[in-house]
Amino acid sequence: MWNPWHGCRKCSAGCLNCYVYYFDGKRDKDAGTITKSKTNFNLPLKKDRNGNFKIVGGLEIPTCFTSDFFIAEADDWRKEAWEIIKKRQDVNFLICTKRIERFESCIPDDWGEGYGNVAVAVSCENQQMADKRLPVFAKIKARRKHIFVAPILEYVDLKPYLGISRFDMVSVGGESYANARECNFEWVKQIKFDCDKFGVKFDFHQTGSNFVKDGKRYRLNHRDEYSQAKKGQQFLLTLK
Ligand code: SF4
């Protein structure tokens, strides 16, 4: 993970139990203060004692996952971050945002059809945010576009959007930790069927800590959320 800046402002329902606030709160740190990283701003360019990049080529790097890459407070730092991204063409940068409406004003001049090493993901936790963000996302240019339905708060009907742009993947995940809101497997299943109709790749990456399947509620610890989601994904792949 590369976090060139840290901290964020809550902007929609999906932010209620944000993990950045959760972890910063445990350390008496204010997650609402956005700061440029003093030590890791240039992490993708850092080398080891043998002169090799510490982040090896071919990896996909979640980028700015303890903030939002397009948050206004980072406007002065983003140009430099794009330059770093441009220098590491061998690494894939995954940028996830809830602020896709700021995208056009935040991309570099030579973005063109999108940098080949950047995937943009938009997070839509409920129908309201899908209806707000996906029409904007559909219009932007990026080499790879992902939709994250996370933390999923209800069934989100993506069908009106899946056909209007090329989306490479839809990834669904539930909310984590003590106050997690319910993730219902029926919602996940329906979204998988919707993706099938449009030939869009589907992934169920995380059950969340409060998972409901076949009317039964499961309280999971964080580590099990991924392994159980993998089982759920395998089950879903058998369904037509
Ligand atoms: S946009 Fe993401 S990082 Fe920012 S407060 Fe919301 S959930 Fe947290």
To which H or E segment does residue 187 belong?
helix 185-198
State residue 240's pLDDT score. Answer: 65
pLDDT in tens, 148-190: 999 999 999 999 999 999 999 999 999 998 899 999 999 999 9
Q: Whose CA is closest to atom 3 on ligand 1? A: 67
Distance 51 CA to ligand 1 centre (A): 35
Distance 52 CA to ligand 1 centre (A): 33
Q: What share of the chain is helix, strand, coil (3-state, %, to 5)?
A: 35, 20, 45
State residue 225's pLDDT score. Answer: 80
Helices 222-237 & 185-198 angle (0-180, nearest 10): 50
The tally of domains found in the chain comes to 1
Residues of the chain below pLDDT 50: none
Q: Whose CA is closest to atom 7 on ligand 1? A: 15
Q: Whose CA is closest to atom 6 on ligand 1? A: 15
State residue 182's pLDDT score. Answer: 97
Residue from 168, 191, 173 nearest 183 by CA: 173
Give the structural domain span for 65.
5-237
Question: Is ligand 1 within 6 A of the CB of residue 8?
Answer: yes
Question: Is ligand 1 within 6 A of the CB of residue 102?
Answer: no
CB 2 within 8 A of CB 63: yes
State residue 134's pLDDT score. Answer: 98
**Which percentage of the chain shows pLDDT scores above 70?**
99
**CATH classification at residue 201:** 3.20.20
To which H or E segment does residue 160 belong?
helix 159-162
pLDDT in tens, 198-222: 999 999 999 999 999 999 999 998 8
Question: Is ligand 1 within 6 A of the CB of residue 59?
Answer: no
235: CB partners within 8 A, 6+ apart? none
Distance 74 CA to ligand 1 centre (A): 14
Going by the DSSP 8-state scheme, the letter that residue 181 receives in this structure is: P
Ligand 1 pocket mutation pick from 5, 35, 97, 98 by most atoms within 8 angstroms of CB:
98
